[in-house]
A and B are shown apart, each in its own frame.
Chain A
Amino acid sequence: MRSKPVQLAIAVVLLVGVGVLVAVFTLALALLGEPDDNVTALTVGKIVIALFALLTLITTLGISLVWLERKQLGRMQGRVGPTRVGPFGLLQVVADGIKLLMKEDVSPGSSSKAIFYVAPLLVFVPSFVVWLTIPLSEDLVVRSLDLGVFFFIAVSVLSIVGLILAGWSSNSKYAILGGFRSAAQLVSYEIPLILGVLSVVMVADSMRFTDIVDAQATVPYIALLPLAFAVFFISGLAEVGRTPFDIYFAESEVVGGPFVEYSGAHWAIFFLAEYVNTFVVAALGALLFLGGWVWPFGEVDQVPAVAVFLGKTYFLAVVIFWVRATLPRLRIDQLMNVGWRLLIPLGFASVILIAVQRFYGWPTWTLTVMSLAALAVAAWVQLRLQRRDAVATAERYAQRAVAVQPSRRRPAPESQQA
């Protein structure tokens, strides 16, 4: 066991290393689209500063979700959540973080050390790099790429590699099972997620996030494309492994999946990445479907655009946590069924509806009608069958129960005999 200061030094070096890696990676990507004669020291400097500001901001926002989730789950479950550290337990996450950084970093003796230690970074870096192109408001964006949506999808998929490598290099059976599961799950849910995003892109005629938000100035796309939103949101839950799709680190089955052998700072990085990913999905939902920083009732100058955007993002995050408090976990084959048999057809239906509408130049409200109709049919069939089955089953079981009558009747109490 190393001494505490050494531990802390290792953790700090690790975090700084992550920061540098993120910075270098994003810088390279940021400069990729720049015409050669435009790359000046000033551009590079600005981007570097922006990146570090962003890194700090995103980390803070990510860990704020940890607090929000614990508080919200507590309230939903008749508890109070963290209360001890700081006002309303706000500093609990910080305390936990310090605890994790101070812990000894254990790795299994038979693990492939290099891959084992690189894997957390591979999960962590993409979840930050996507923020390169996600705007917090009209102007607050590192690089407003023409292919922003495309860039987002291309980069976010990379984290799957990290999960598989983490599972494989741990040389642990639970970890490898978790790695398999994450591979199967994330790859198959990427398709409906993309179909949901594609629907928005088709309507907005642009892959630039700011254009997509501007196009929602009058009507947010959730009203226009409820079907695409449903597909996007459900597959988004699966992409970040939230309940009911948390099967690749299922606590009661594979005991943490790919992360089972990690401890200390490396585990903290996985944990942080998970919450940043949740935040990314919520932010993406807010941008693509809830109108981003556009205030729904016209221009209101008093409300800063960033606050509106963050408000919508946190709203979606609350919905994600609400789902977590409600639902059990699916099984791996059921997960695949939901993905391939339900979400992908619905996603394609959404894309085809939009294509038809665009081709014939029908008014946009027809989109809402068609989309809602498809969604309503799917939901109605499902809920109706479920409700009918529940009522019938409960009645059947009530009738099957064997009634036992008192075989001996107690003598009536003396007071009543008189």
Chain B
Amino acid sequence: MVGVTVTTEQAYDTVDMMLNMGPQHPATHGVFRMVLTVDGERVVDVTPHIGYLHRGSEKLAENESYGQVVTLFDRLDYVSNLNNELIFCRAAERLMGIEPPERGQYIRVILAELNRLASHLLFIGTYAIDLGAMTPIMYGFRERERIQNMFESVTGARMMHNFIRIGGVKEDVPPDFVPRVRALLDDVERGVQECDRLLTFNEVFLARTRGVGVIDLPTALSCGLTGPSLRASGLAYDVRKDYPYEVYPYLSYRVPVGENGDCWDRYYMRVLECYESLSMIRQCLDQMEEGPVMAQMRRIARPPKGEVYVHGENPRGDIGVFLVSDGTDKPYRVKVRPPSFCNLVSLRPMMRDAYIADAVAILGSLDIVLGEVDR
């Protein structure tokens, strides 16, 4: 990290101050803790500390049957539960060599994209509040609430759904699903536009985020940054585009790419992705047909011996699952590559020459979820 050499006023013995931020701090999004070494208002060094929310999910998964592991994945990234369920189910299905019926895949993608919207809306709100703007979080939560009500009517739960199952989805969507989602999308689109107009090109917001926490593409890649945060640095890497899965190949969409890799770009990528998700869900609703939602398979999933690595695009980045089966009904090993955790690696390069206020803006722009970082 950047060292500070005091060249002037050598007569004064200045020492850097250690400032502990978290695990109980309003801006650390849960129980993240970072120890900042500050020289006045400048951040000299940052040391992240994690593990306050460690629940041993990966180890627990070894003692659960495949179907039950899905519930553990709900609790990893607890603001995009359905995306997590999807990634584990895809891994198990790949091992077992089954493919869910098309309607099931459409339902999965619709739910996953709705969850991405909910997650990004939460990000916009919390990021605004990190920077001191009070209103967008209310708008964001209002729209997220609508999405969660929709989830409740489909899956029966607001957050821990356990709806996406190995081989498809638990059951078909309610009969009035399509018109209701269309109405929901119109509402949510207005809500996203509201946040967008209020915040995106606000002069103060621009001053706080442009040129702050810049990370160039080579550094970003070497840190393992993925998702909107990587795309903000200028690379159009999106698992949905580069390694298509489910029904994503049937959809047309755009992958937003940033210019500078600063906090504003990382924020704006997510705003633009909200609009893309809206359009993707609309296409899915147009294309979806009647049919079964669950593949024909044994009631108890018992994949053959083997191992598989499957990855997909979560709201926070590239989530990967490495799954080893020993032929029993419980996985031998489940390893998750959580995007939030991997994105945290780039925290230190981003903090170069930052102010204390920037440290908050930078951490917020990475949009970490501690459930996923600590697992």
Q: Which of B46-54, B181-189, B354-362 contacts A (4 or more CB under 8 A)?
A: B354-362
Q: Tell me the residues in window 375-418 of chain A with beta carbons closer than 8 Å to chain B beta carbons.
A: 382, 386, 389-390, 393-394, 396-397, 400-410, 413
For the complex, what is the distance from the CA of A332 to the CA of B251, rounded to whole Å?
Answer: 46
Contacts of A17 in B (CB 8 A): none
Least CB distance from A170 to B in Å reads: 14
B355 touches A332 (CB 8 A): yes
Q: Are A255 and B132 in contact (CB under 8 A)?
A: no
CB <8 Å contact, B207 and A334: yes
Within residues 254 to 288 of chain B, which ones have a CB less than 8 A from any CB in chain A?
Answer: 254-259, 268, 272, 287
Q: Tell which of B133, B203, B249, B256 touches A386, judged by Cβ atoms closer than 8 Å.
A: B203
Tell me the bound Cα distance from A402 to B128 in angstroms.
Answer: 27
Q: Point out the residue from B20, B27, B41, B129 that lies within 8 Å of A332, measured CB to CB.
A: B41
- Counting CB contacts under 8 A, is B236 at the interface? yes
A330 at the interface (CB under 8 A from B): yes
Residue of A nearest to B236 (CB): A402
Do the beta carbons of B138 and A250 come within 8 Å of each other? no
User: In chain A between 240 and 269, which residues have their CB closer than 8 angstroms to a CB of chain B?
Assistant: 243-244, 246-247, 250-255
Task: Tell me the minimal C-beta distance from A51 to chain B in angstroms.
Answer: 36
Query: Which residues of A are found within 8 Å of B203, using beta-carbon distances?
Result: 382, 386
Q: Of all chain A residues, which has the CB nearest B354?
A: A331
Q: A173, A396, A402, A406: which contacts B249 (Cβ < 8 A)?
A: A406
Bound Cα distance from A79 to B257, whole angstroms = 35
Complex Cα distance, B360 from A247, in Å, reads 13
- Interface residue count on the B side (C-beta < 8 Å): 54
**Is A328 a contact of B204 with CB atoms below 8 Å?**
yes
Nearest neighbor of B248 in chain A, beta-carbon distance: A404
Chain A residues with CB under 8 Å of B205's CB are: 328
Partner of A325, one of B19, B135, B289: B135
B244 touches A407 (CB 8 A): yes
**B135 CB contacts on chain A under 8 angstroms:** 76-77, 325-326
Q: Which residues of B contact A324 (CB under 8 A)?
A: 134
Residues of A near B131 (CB, < 8 A) are 252, 328-329
Nearest-CB residue, chain B, relative to A387? B201
CA distance A245 to B201 in the complex (A): 19
User: In the complex, A327 Cα to B131 Cα: how many Å?
Assistant: 9
User: Is the C-beta of B348 less than 8 angstroms from some C-beta in chain A?
Assistant: no
Contact call A250/B357, Cβ cutoff below 8 A:
yes
Interface membership of A73, Cβ < 8 A: yes
Is B25 an interface residue, CB under 8 A from the partner?
yes
Q: Which listed residue, A73, A77, A247, A402, touches B357 by the CB 8 Å rule?
A: A247
Specify which chain B residues have a CB less than 8 angstroms from the CB of A393 in the assembled complex.
201
B138, A409: Cβ atoms closer than 8 Å = no
Interface status of A333 (Cβ within 8 A of chain B): yes
Chain B contacts with A in 119-141, Cβ cutoff 8 A: 128-135, 138-139
Given contacts A332-B355, A334-B207, contact A327 B133 (CB under 8 A): yes
Contact B26 A255 (CB under 8 A): yes
A324–B199 CA distance with the chains assembled, in angstroms: 13
Q: How far is the CA of A147 from the CA of B208 in the complex (A)?
A: 41
Majority SS at the chain A contact face: helix
- State whether the Cβ of B250 lies closer than 8 Å to any Cβ in chain A: yes
- Does B173 reach chain A (CB closer than 8 Å)? no
Q: CB distance B249 to A407 under 8 Å?
A: yes
Task: Given A77-B135, A252-B26, A253-B356, verify A327-B252 contact (CB < 8 Å).
Answer: no
Q: Is A298's beta carbon under 8 Å from chain B?
A: no
Structural contact, B201 and A173, CB atoms closer than 8 A: no
Q: Confirm or deny: B142 has a beta carbon within 8 angstroms of a beta carbon on chain A.
A: yes
- Whether A328 pairs with B138 at a CB distance below 8 angstroms is no
Question: Does B241 make an interface contact (CB < 8 A)?
Answer: yes
B85-130 contacts to A (CB < 8 Å)? 128-130
User: Please, how many angstroms separate the alpha-carbon atoms of A394 and B275 in the complex?
Assistant: 13
A404 near B254: Cβ-Cβ < 8 Å? yes
Q: Flag if B204 contacts A402 (CB, 8 Å).
A: no
B256 contacts across to A, CB distance below 8 A: 397, 400-401
Known contacts A333-B355, A400-B256: A410-B134 contact under CB 8 Å: no
Q: Note all chain B residues with C-beta closer than 8 A to A174.
A: 19
Select one of B25, B138, B200 contacting A79, CB under 8 A: B138
User: Which one, A177, A247, A331, A401, contacts B358 given CB within 8 A?
Assistant: A331
Q: Is B308 an interface residue (CB 8 A)?
A: no
- CB nearest neighbor in B for A77: B138
Among candidates A332, A389, A397, A408, residue contacting B268 with C-beta atoms closer than 8 Å: A397
Does A328 lie within 8 Å of B133, measured CB to CB? yes
| Distance to closest chain B CB from A405 (angstroms) | 5
Residue of A77, A254, A329 near B204 (CB, 8 A) is A329
Extra A-B contacts (16), CB below 8 Å, given A328-B199, A390-B201: A77-B138, A77-B139, A173-B20, A246-B132, A247-B357, A252-B27, A252-B129, A325-B134, A325-B135, A330-B204, A389-B201, A400-B258, A402-B254, A404-B241, A404-B252, A413-B289
Give the interface of A toward B (CB within 8 A): 73, 76-79, 173-174, 177, 180, 243-244, 246-247, 250-255, 324-334, 382, 386, 389-390, 393-394, 396-397, 400-410, 413
13 contacts between A and B (CB under 8 A): A77-B135, A250-B357, A252-B132, A253-B27, A255-B26, A326-B133, A326-B202, A329-B204, A332-B355, A397-B256, A400-B256, A400-B258, A403-B252
